[in-house]
Structure 1
């Protein structure tokens, strides 16, 4: 039973006080700045539903006095108070015939690990789990159900995560900036830590726990060795102390050359005894300061970052050195497969496969190789990485990007769940039909002992966390899919809309339709038909003509290969032969331009401008159709958004409305840049049904240059 000391301690918790303040504020103010995310707990307007919940939840009881279970109780009390307008007491012994919520650890029950079960027994709602974290996840699941005003009897069931490590990767730097971050500066105020902890850290942890995220990497993969100093480890420990109260482990990205840059050694060779000892000693220090430390994330020998290949060693040599240092503490190494060399004769598409597949089975048992969903770099649409399915002896983790590096930053509305699902549902065919990427990642295809799904975080210091209010849905969708990848984008979207925006059925359907179509609309005016996104210094402005860089694969022309004959990158046997890295039916379908699905056509084929496609148009005509239709569809998004205005908070509505206006202007920018540039090769007119761009190619180039120099 809960002690008075425990109740007093939780009452003083800054996150708990902040939560109560927000609940009070939401009852007195209508404007919503987006801070509360999907955890609003607003009073239920339907009196019948509200009264049913009031009758069902007269008390909360638990025997677990730990911090994690304590937060489960706090959340239930706050949530039920907000939803019903009634205070729900925490009791030691329920009154006879009273109905309430009972939280119970049941290590021998069906719900083990992070899983939980919710049942109705004798009028009570029983949440059982094999761990305190499971109780917390079960409590959030119950509240999520109630927030949608659903019948209580439909909450009954069990839930188990498909993936063990469900993580956010922050690309935050020690000076407070965020690489590829579009929602302000870093959440972590390193200059204040460890003495001062921002109450926002608690709300960050709450939000993650509510969707099942159980790990966070707090710093950039382009890591500074500073984070391994004692000074910064103490700062990280202050964050870890908050996160562990919500079942979240803390991880660090590490600079592979730290033994030289920080330790003063002559080398960082992973096979050097002094280097191995340095890492072993550093790991011991970390666990003295952060006893539940999760492990290391490593970007090595990629884009100029140091790594084991600097010493003639393999990725396995580097990963295994760190794994040995972490093994006795239960820590893991997450080694990123994002590697590619500056070879003008090579195809960057093939790089990760060529470096990692020969190493399959040579990694230590506590190493996970983390693979981006596609073979290039978080493009608006990519085929799945050929690594998935081809490393049966090495656990492969999934890496998605929530922050919209190539999806319009925080300006363009793009719902990313379809991106995530498109990859997860792809069939690798390595063990026959049904060998999906999802089954690789969750370990069921190859019996991986470790499983991981990571998302590059889109959070920042902006009051609404993600810059674009609708980008909150991408954080939410990632967590829900990491827990259960069988959920559909439609289900997740409708759930998020009801928790965040409105319960009005017609408006839920309208916003959901915008979300489901948003990714295809963006691809339409940005990278249709598998047209690979050109690289630019900003990753934002259209620059398809860009052809100068220190390395060929940092130019635009490297990817789209436009010439007088056609467009696209030939990856068949007559080209780079990257398709050979895929198996069975996937390769067979993609290698024939007649059967290759149009969304991937230019990924794998150099197609003549006059080639007739399945749509009845030739390549040039189809490109124009998609560029123009995509840009015009943003006008459709604007009209649909206007329809839901009466049921959307005015502050959120206005925020999204202005962003959609800018999105349309920039969609035209992208459309004109591509159409005018590609026309110089295709030498065909813009079809008469479309208005010719009002700007010349030179004028568009000047507008891009003006953007890039500001």
Structure 2
């Protein structure tokens, strides 16, 4: 009895709050799928009138989740439930389905418009029949209907005109896949958002709601595959107990068009199969993999296939037995081919023998194998030849293997871009690579055309992103990390989209449609990647991060057991200058590019300044385009990076009151951390490089706060993701 007054008081407080603000926390869990009431009164009225009722025939699992998503989304956005019918009964209706599932759509005679859209595309169309107005979400397949439903909801979320729709969309790449570097103990290599989503202990019996929301989020941006396990693979996931756990996830994801893939440890026949060899040409090894593949497909009929990291960074592979990458990939490809599976074989390789330039090794190993891979093998190539640096020129393999489908591998998680504390919108970086011209078949032979198959007429195509997702409530650690998951999916679907358009969509869906918020935050996002490059690795510097965990600066790293795991290997600073000579006077890595590109990168005058020190060792007094010496330019670039973060802070501070306080304070705090890190990078790098340049930092620039020895002593403990 004594507790009743307290409970009553709490109830009154909660009820009082509902009139002015949401009771639940705005912690970012809903991502960009925030179906809150449309605030523009005129648009709200127009949307309510246009939608009328929802007409959806069919009860497949995918159509059922499409109906649920539309009902939930429309109820939230329109502020009222929407009636659902099997056939139109009102003057206006939203009709979703396929010609197979919907007699109404079948009778409209739009088959010719649907045919070119393939298995995943969709059509959004306004049409009139017998004096009634209909908005169609039509597709050839159920998954196309689901993708179209998310697009339609996106139009409402971003307050677009839906009164006269006539648009179609189909993916430019066939396999659009997230690579989770998740370990079976739930740690995540290069993960900065908590632990792995996959609760292996409670699988297969417990299906966490997060699995469903994960699948929803991926479907909303067209991602259709997920590799559940780390490329540094553990063979245990291929054992019967784990296959059943994977099957439970596959069942949960299937209605959303999300296939599961696994990483295959090449030595699995030895580790869990009891064999004495994993030689891909040995019949007993081939038989073991065939039996294992059949076992997996019996449990998961739509299993996507395998992702393999082999003979790189200590991982076992075919070269252990004197075989090449094609022989290893083809062995696995043969066992999944009867089931419709594929093999994604990573080209990120370097062996135990230190090469003359690590940037050259993938090309040297894979180029001679062009045309020897099975038809269901994709060679997965990182965007650049080193390792997901803040900026890299495009990988020379793109365009160099015309007989082999090449799959792009981007990193969404920010291993070398400030990790979980930095705002770095990566769409401009992805676009920089995709829009690069390989000149493989003359001018206009972009990396994007290699990846989507149009340049060399490949039907099997793919693009992968190393995921930044974990158990943090907001999924990605940093609120703005969500934008990189989002933009990866949107570009994987359509690489012609602009960074500006994607940023604006995400902002409007994630925060608000208020233009006074959208415009400045969009500009902040678009400038953020260049800002990070400036305070970390300007002018083509690369791989100068701290040892092992890669958090913070470490340009002084040297004397490790491999030279190409050190910073000095890459920047090669000395009293004469700085930079890695990759021209014919150095490693001649430029020769791996097609002649027009090689000529540009080889020329000190023609190379884009953003790649200057990637390809050239340049004197400290060399005059760059600004008219400054190289040393002074480095000083100004590093300082511009710090100023860029400070500008982001100023922009964000002005947004207070425009969005919920919880997420505002989250971003504000993270920007303050990023500003400290930017200063750390600037001061440490300039002091270190100054020991070689022997030149002063320009008078008008802020000077380092501590000595070089201070920064060299810093050693952060327990950095996540290693």
Fold shared, TM-score > 0.5 on shorter chain: yes
1:252 is aligned to 2:262? yes
Matching of residue 65 in structure 1 with residue 75 in structure 2: no
Instruction: Identify the residue that residue 237 of structure 1 maps to in structure 2.
Output: 247
Aligned counterpart, 1:555: 566
What residue in structure 1 maps to residue 295 of structure 2?
285
Measure, in 1, the Cα distance between the counterparts of 2:41 and 2:607.
54
Q: How has the CA–CA distance of structure 1 residues 254 and 698 changed in structure 2, closer, same or farther, with 3 Å as cutoff?
A: same
Matched with 2:632 is: 621
CA deviations over 1:163-192 (Å, ceiling 9, x no partner): 000010000010111000000000000000
1:328 shift after superposition: 0.6
Contact 2:382 2:408 in 1 (8 A): yes
Kindly indicate whether residue 122 of structure 2 is the aligned counterpart of residue 116 of structure 1.
yes
Note if 1:410 corresponds to 2:420.
Answer: yes
Partner in structure 1 of residue 95 of structure 2: 101
Q: Are 1:169 and 1:456, in contact at CA under 8 Å, matched by a contact in 2?
A: yes
How does the TM-score come out when normalised to structure 2? 0.93
Contact 2:94 2:134 in 1 (8 A): yes
CA separation in 2, counterparts of 1:27 and 1:164?
A: 43
CA distance in 1: counterparts of 2:19 and 2:316, whole angstroms:
49
Structure 1 pair 155/548, CA: closer, same or farther in 2 (3 Å)? farther
What displacement does 1:613 show?
1.1
Given candidates 6, 23, 42, the residue that maps to 1:29 is 23
Cα contact 2:53–2:90 (8 A) shared by 1: no
Confirm or deny that 1:683 pairs with 2:694.
yes
> Is the CA contact 2:55–2:93 (under 8 Å) kept in the aligned structure 1?
no
How many Å separate the matches in 1 of 2:82 and 2:643? Answer: 51
C-alpha distance in 2, partners of 1:291/1:34?
Answer: 35
| Separation (CA, whole Å) in 2 of partners of 1:396 and 1:647 | 44
Q: Is the 8 A contact 1:402 1:455 kept in 2?
A: yes
- Give the structure 2 partner of residue 76 of structure 1: 70
Cα offset for 1:96? 4.8
The alpha-carbon deviation at position 610 of structure 1 amounts to 1.0
The residue that corresponds to 1:347 in the other structure is: 357
Q: CA deviation at 1:149?
A: 1.2
Q: Give, in whole Å, the separation in 2 of the partners of 1:546 and 1:322.
A: 39
- More deviation, 134-143/48-57: 48-57
Is the contact made by 2:259 and 2:302 (CA closer than 8 Å) also made in structure 1?
A: yes
Say whether residues 1:702 and 2:713 are aligned partners.
Answer: yes
How big is the shift at 1:707? 8.1
Q: In terms of mean alpha carbon deviation, does 126-135 or 372-381 score higher?
A: 126-135
Q: How many residues align?
A: 687
Note the alpha carbon deviations across 1:117-145, whole angstroms, 9 max, x for none: 11111211111111111000000000000
Deviations 1:387-442 (A, max 9, x none): 00000000000000000000001101000000110000000011110000000000
Aligned partner of 1:90 among 69, 84, 103: 84
Provide structure 1 residue ranges, at least 5 long, that are not aligned to the other structure.
Answer: 1-23
336-345 or 143-152, which deviates more: 336-345
- Tell me which of 435, 446, 455 is aligned to 1:425: 435
Give the one of 212, 216, 224 matched to 2:234: 224
In the alignment, which residue of structure 1 is the partner of 2:581? 570
Structure 1 residue 64: Cα displacement: 2.5
2:685 to 674, 677, 685: 674
Answer whether contact 1:215 1:250 (CA < 8 A) is retained: yes
Give CA deviations for 1:579-616 in whole Å, capped at 9, x if unaligned: 00001321111101111111000000000111111110
Worse overlay, 179-188 or 65-74: 65-74
CA distance in 2, matches of 1:197, 1:226: 21
Quote the RMSD (CA, aligned, Å).
1.7
C-alpha contact 2:388 2:416 (8 A) present in aligned 1: yes
What's the secondary structure of 2:288's corresponding residue? helix
| CA 617–342 in structure 1, closer or farther in 2 if over 3 Å, else same | farther
Q: Tell me the CA shift for residue 31 of structure 1.
A: 3.9
Equivalences for residues 278-427 of structure 1 within 5 A:
278-427=288-437
Change (3 A) 1:667 1:316: same
SS in 2 for 1:497: helix
Q: Single out whichever of 181-190 and 24-33 deviates more from structure 2.
A: 24-33
Measured in 2, the distance between the counterparts of 1:705 and 1:502 equals 37
TM superposition shift of 1:59: 1.7
Higher mean alpha-carbon deviation, 281-290 vs 587-596, is at 587-596
2:601 pairs with 1:607: no
Secondary structure in 2 aligned to 1:100?
strand
Distance in 1, matches of 2:79 and 2:163, equals: 21
Question: How far apart in 2 are the matches of 1:26 and 1:140?
Answer: 29
The whole-number CA distance in structure 2 between the counterparts of 1:318 and 1:623 is 45
CA contact (8 A) 1:526 1:533 kept: no
CA separation of 1:326 and 1:588: change in aligned 2, threshold 3 A: same
Once residues 290 and 355 of structure 1 are traced to their aligned partners in structure 2, the CA distance between those partners, rounded to angstroms, is 34
Please name the residue that 1:665 is paired with.
676
**1:633 corresponds to:** 644
Change (3 A) 1:461 1:43: same
Structure 1 residues 34 and 25 mapped into 2: Cα distance closer, same or farther (>3 Å)?
farther
| CA pair 557-96 structure 1, distance change in 2 beyond 3 A | closer
Residue in 2 that maps onto 1:17: none
**Alignment partners' CA distance in 2, 1:463 and 1:224:** 27
CA shift, 1:98, in A, is: 3.8
What is the alpha-carbon distance in structure 2 between the residues aligned to residue 100 and residue 697 of structure 1? 65
- Residue 12 (structure 1) aligns with: none
Decide whether the 8 Å contact of 1:323 with 1:364 is kept in 2.
yes
Residue 561 and residue 26 in structure 1: after superposition, are their counterparts in 2 closer, same or farther (change >3 A)?
A: farther
How much does 1:105 deviate?
3.7
Asked whether the equivalents of residues 294 and 332 of structure 1 are also in contact (C-alpha less than 8 Å), the reply is yes
Maintained 8 Å contact 1:507/1:644: yes
Pair 684,83 (structure 1): closer, same or farther in 2 beyond 3 Å = same
Q: Does 1:531 align with 2:525?
A: no
Change in 2 beyond 3 A, CA 1:148/1:582:
same
In the other structure, the counterpart of 1:163 is 173
Could you tell me how far apart the structure 1 residues matched to 2:430 and 2:355 are?
A: 31
3-state SS, counterpart of residue 553 of structure 1: helix
Equivalent residue number for residue 150 of structure 2: 140
Does residue 504 (structure 1) correspond to residue 514 (structure 2)? The answer is yes
The match for 2:106 is none
Distance 1:620 1:462 in 2: 42
Contact 1:528 1:627 in 2 (8 A): yes
**SS of corresponding position for 1:398:** strand
Counterparts of 1:125 and 1:26, CA distance in 2: 34
Does the alignment pair 1:450 with 2:456?
A: no
Cross-structure match for 1:435 = 445
CA contact (8 A) 1:172 1:186 kept: yes
Q: Secondary structure at the match of 2:85?
A: coil
Report what 1:187 is aligned to: 197
| Contact kept? 2:355, 2:361, Cα under 8 Å | no
Q: Secondary structure at the match of 2:295?
A: helix
Partner of 1:166, secondary structure, is strand
1:104 to partner: Cα distance: 2.5
- Residue in 2 that maps onto 1:56: 50
Q: Deviations over 1:56-113 (max 9, x none)?
A: 1122222222111111111111000000111112212221534333323467633321
**Does structure 2 conserve the Cα–Cα contact (< 8 Å) formed by 1:61 and 1:92?**
yes
